[in-house]
């Protein structure tokens, strides 16, 4: 997976009206035309095309990027929040990025990972895939 | 060969910074305005209007807005710790106008003023400059209240509060001192407004969560303009206690440093969950 690439596509989409126009007409084509498309997994492409807000949040997409993507799709605020909650319930804690620090379960869960702010692209790599426990309360 | 010389930084008598304040910038303030409790929202808007009046009364020729940019212009492919705009105009909002509740606008800039300010800031802080800058809610929401006709030249300023590694707090303080020195070195009257935080979990499932005691403690430190107390935060603890939105205290303490010890006053503070932040209006006494 490439959280960096997923977020970069959304960053470009959020700030580029021409790309938004192409995405509205042909979502798959717009994603395929992204210059880092080769870094995206099939699941990531599917989530960007669907769109699957919950899965993207689970992957670690920053809400400041994700909320504009939801708005582009006309998803109301309350629905946007619920889709993120559903994504966590379905797929598990946030896997990477700034939110993986605590996974919304409390500071005690990440006390053992002081290096979260050292990574680029918000990559705290809390390692939920590895341990599966650190974001639990 | 003729030596390359920079234009003189000073064009006339020094004019000190004429205004320094902070306010919230959450997109819900305008985008979900009708969903807040009317009385609380009205009081908040009244306080913002008071800030607008104070800036106008200061005789400001330009407004420096220190905001926590939200991936509208800067991404992790090239993330500066500090950046300042250097253009003659800026367009916004980057967000859908209906979603944000702010129509598309073009705000005036002042490229020459920016160049002089950036040149002075660079004497002590390695600030990036940008001749293109799309305003997101971090600047658009405050401007919609403070310069509603978008008729006051703006210099956008960013401190990286979003993409770790974040700008260290003590560097944000040094940046604020550099902004003050730069503002004092130009003949134009400069107003400085920081926007952001305080505690909040914006755009996440915890949106609407606000740690009011934490906010009030921070504002106490801010009003005392207590450098040691304002720098006595750890990002891990800030995240735990104040959410990722708490990282935006960098913009507030940049203004504190620029105010150079002046005492502050909180004109309004109230948690407004549908706005996803403890809404704040505060300023320093610069007289």
Chain A nearest-CA residue for B133: A15
Specify the pLDDT at position B48. Answer: 98
Q: What is the mean pLDDT of residues A87-104?
A: 80
pTM equals: 0.88
Residues A26 and A20: their CA atoms lie apart, in Å, by: 10
User: What is the rounded average pLDDT for all residues in chain B?
Assistant: 93
Question: Residue ranges of the domains in chain A?
Answer: 3-91, 98-131
Chain B nearest-CA residue for A115: B236
Helix (H, G, I), strand (E, B) or coil at A27: helix
Q: Which residues, including other chains, have CB under 8 Å from residue B277's CB and lie 6 or more apart?
A: B24, B26, B28, B197, B198, B199, B200, B202, B210, B245, B271
Instruction: Give B93's contacts in chain A (Cβ within 8 Å).
Output: none
The answer to whether the Cβ–Cβ distance between A120 and B166 falls below 8 Å is no
CA of B250 vs chain A CAs: smallest distance (Å): 15
Active-site residue flag, B200:
yes
Specify the pLDDT at position B211. Answer: 95
Question: Residue ranges of the domains in chain B?
Answer: 19-192+200-284
Instruction: Kindly report, residue by residue over B84-95, the tens digit of the pLDDT.
Output: 999 999 999 999
Nearest CB partner across the interface for A84, out of B77, B163, B205: B205
Q: What is the mean pLDDT of residues A75-98?
A: 91
Alpha helical stretches, state H, chain A: 3-15, 17-25, 27-32, 42-49, 53-59, 63-72, 77-91, 128-131
Q: Check whether B23 has a pLDDT greater than 80.
A: yes
* Four-point Cα dihedral B115, B121, B126, B128, nearest 10: -30
Which residues of B, range 10-69, sit inside 8 Å of A by Cβ?
Answer: 27-28, 31-32
Specify the pLDDT at position A102. Answer: 55
Best mutation target, A39, A77, A112, to test chain B (most B CBs within 10 A): A77
Residue A109 structure tokens: 């869960």
Task: Decide: B270 and B278 in contact? Cβ < 8 Å.
Answer: yes
* Structure ipTM: 0.87
> For the domain with range A3-91, which CATH number is right: 1.10.700, 1.10.3470, 2.40.160, 1.20.58?
1.10.700
Q: Check whether A101 has a pLDDT greater than 60.
A: yes
Specify the pLDDT at position A122. Answer: 30
Instruction: Kindly report, residue by residue over A39-55, the tens digit of the pLDDT.
Output: 999 999 999 999 999 99
Q: How confident is the model at residue A135 (pLDDT cuts 50, 70, 90)?
A: very low
CATH code for the part of the protein at B19-192+200-284: 3.40.830.10
The one catalytic residue in B137, B170, B189, B267 is: B137
The answer to whether the Cβ–Cβ distance between B205 and A67 falls below 8 Å is no
């Amino acid at each position: 997976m490439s959280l960096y690439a997923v977020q970069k596509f959304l960053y470009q989409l959020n700030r580029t009206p021409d790309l938004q126009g192409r995405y509205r007409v042909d979502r798959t084509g717009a994603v395929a035309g992204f210059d880092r498309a080769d870094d995206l997994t099939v699941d990531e492409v599917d989530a960007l095309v669907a769109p699957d807000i919950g899965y993207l949040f689970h992957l670690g997409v920053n809400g400041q990027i994700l909320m504009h993507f939801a708005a582009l799709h006309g998803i109301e605020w309350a629905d946007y929040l619920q889709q993120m909650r559903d994504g966590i319930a379905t797929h598990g804690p946030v896997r990477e990025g700034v939110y993986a620090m605590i996974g919304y379960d409390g500071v005690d869960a990440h006390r053992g990972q002081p290096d979260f702010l050292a990574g680029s692209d918000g990559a705290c790599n809390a390692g939920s895939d590895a341990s599966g426990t650190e974001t639990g309360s | 060969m003729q030596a390359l010389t920079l234009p003189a930084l000073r064009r006339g008598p020094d004019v000190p910074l004429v205004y320094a304040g902070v306010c919230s910038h959450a997109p819900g303030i305008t985008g979900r305005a009708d969903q807040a409790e009317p009385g609380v929202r009205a009081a908040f808007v009244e306080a913002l209007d008071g800030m607008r009046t104070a800036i106008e009364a200061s005789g400001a020729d330009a407004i420096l807005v220190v905001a926590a940019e939200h991936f509208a212009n800067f991404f992790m492919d090239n993330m500066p710790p500090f950046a300042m705009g250097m253009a003659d105009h800026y367009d916004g909002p980057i967000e859908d106008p209906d979603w944000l509740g702010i129509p598309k606008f073009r705000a005036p800039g002042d490229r020459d003023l920016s160049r002089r300010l950036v040149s002075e800031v660079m004497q002590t802080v390695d600030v990036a400059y940008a001749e293109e800058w799309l305003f997101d809610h971090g600047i658009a929401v405050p401007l919609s209240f403070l310069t509603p006709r978008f008729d006051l030249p703006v210099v956008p300023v960013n401190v990286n509060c979003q993409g770790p590694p974040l700008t260290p707090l003590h560097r944000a303080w040094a940046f604020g001192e550099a902004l003050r020195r730069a503002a004092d070195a130009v003949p134009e009257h400069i107003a400085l407004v920081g926007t952001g935080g305080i505690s909040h979990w914006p755009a996440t499932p915890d949106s609407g969560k606000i740690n009011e005691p934490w906010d009030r403690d921070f504002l106490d430190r801010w009003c005392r303009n207590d450098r040691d107390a304002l720098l006595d935060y750890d990002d891990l603890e800030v995240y735990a206690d104040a959410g990722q939105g708490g990282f935006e205290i960098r913009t507030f303490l940049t203004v504190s440093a620029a105010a150079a010890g002046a005492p502050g006053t909180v004109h309004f503070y109230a948690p407004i969950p549908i706005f996803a932040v403890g809404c704040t209006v505060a300023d320093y006494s610069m007289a």
